[in-house]
């Protein structure tokens, strides 16, 4: 053999063998640990300093990420994050879902109110107070559905929501001038005083 220090491996291959295979030879004893350097140090001071600085950097980064997670999860900065990250994530998802549903509800209510105000011939303030919006919905495209039926139901129950086209009351029983018309009233006073037509 060329190199007698390398142990030879003897594979124990028995194809279609019956019985227990022959035990393999035990491995030779492992090599002895290297002797420590003079002065009892195994690693140099530069290497140890580099490892310590690297470890300090990892600890600082971990603290920064832990503080960021506490902020995202809404945990007090002095409280422990703990091992229940799944619980914190689930709580955060539930808060986000509730906030999203609340924002969607407010947006839908604004769309319905704008649609109500766009209808002519109704007292909008009164209509907004008496209308039943339980069957009015807003679809994904922002279209308001069921508002016409709700307006008709409110109009049937409260006829005052429908504006009427009656003229304003007339002044002094003359049938010609309105009470609020100051120009017409001034003209009539001038005619009576000065006798001009």
- Rounded alpha-carbon distances, angstroms, from residue 119 to 18, 48, 104, 116, 188: 95, 80, 23, 6, 39
For residue 113, being part of any structural domain is answered with: yes
For residue 4, being part of any structural domain is answered with: no
pLDDT tens digit string along 127-152? Answer: 888 888 888 889 988 888 998 898 88
pLDDT tens digit string along 24-67? Answer: 565 666 655 655 555 667 888 899 999 999 999 999 999 999 88
Query: In this structure, are residues 115 and 139 in contact, taking their beta carbons and an 8 Å threshold?
Result: no
For residue 46, being part of any structural domain is answered with: no
For residue 181, being part of any structural domain is answered with: no
For residue 14, being part of any structural domain is answered with: no
For residue 154, being part of any structural domain is answered with: yes
What's the pLDDT band for 98 if we cut at 50, 70, 90?
Answer: very high
Structure tokens at 96: 């986000």
Measure the CA–CA gap between 79 and 128, rounded to whole angstroms.
48
For residue 28, being part of any structural domain is answered with: no
What's the pLDDT band for 71 if we cut at 50, 70, 90?
Answer: confident
Domain range for residue 69? Answer: 55-161
For residue 123, being part of any structural domain is answered with: yes
State how many domains the chain has. Answer: 1
DSSP 42: S
Global pTM reads: 0.49
- Could you give the count of Cα atoms lying within 13 Å of 15 in the half-sphere of its Cβ? 0
Measure the CA–CA gap between 4 and 28, rounded to whole angstroms.
13
């Amino acid at each position: 053999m060329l190199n007698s220090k390398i142990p030879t491996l003897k594979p124990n291959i028995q194809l279609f063998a019956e019985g227990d295979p022959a035990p393999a030879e035990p491995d030779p004893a492992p090599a002895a640990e290297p002797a420590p350097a003079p002065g009892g140090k195994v690693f140099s001071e530069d290497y140890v300093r580099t490892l310590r600085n690297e470890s300090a950097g990892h600890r600082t980064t971990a603290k920064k990420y832990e503080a960021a997670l506490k902020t995202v999860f809404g945990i007090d900065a002095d409280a422990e994050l703990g091992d229940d990250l799944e619980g914190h994530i689930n709580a955060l998802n539930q808060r986000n879902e509730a906030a999203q549903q609340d924002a969607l509800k407010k947006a839908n209510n604004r769309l319905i109110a704008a649609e109500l105000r766009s209808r002519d011939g109704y007292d909008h303030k009164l209509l907004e107070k008496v209308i039943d919006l339980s069957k009015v919905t807003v679809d994904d495209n922002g279209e308001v559905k069921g508002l016409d039926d709700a307006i008709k139901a409110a109009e049937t129950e409260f006829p005052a929501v429908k504006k009427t086209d009656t003229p304003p009351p007339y002044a002094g029983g003359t049938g010609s001038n309105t009470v609020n018309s100051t120009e017409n009233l001034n003209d009539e006073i001038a005619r009576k005083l000065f006798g001009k037509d």
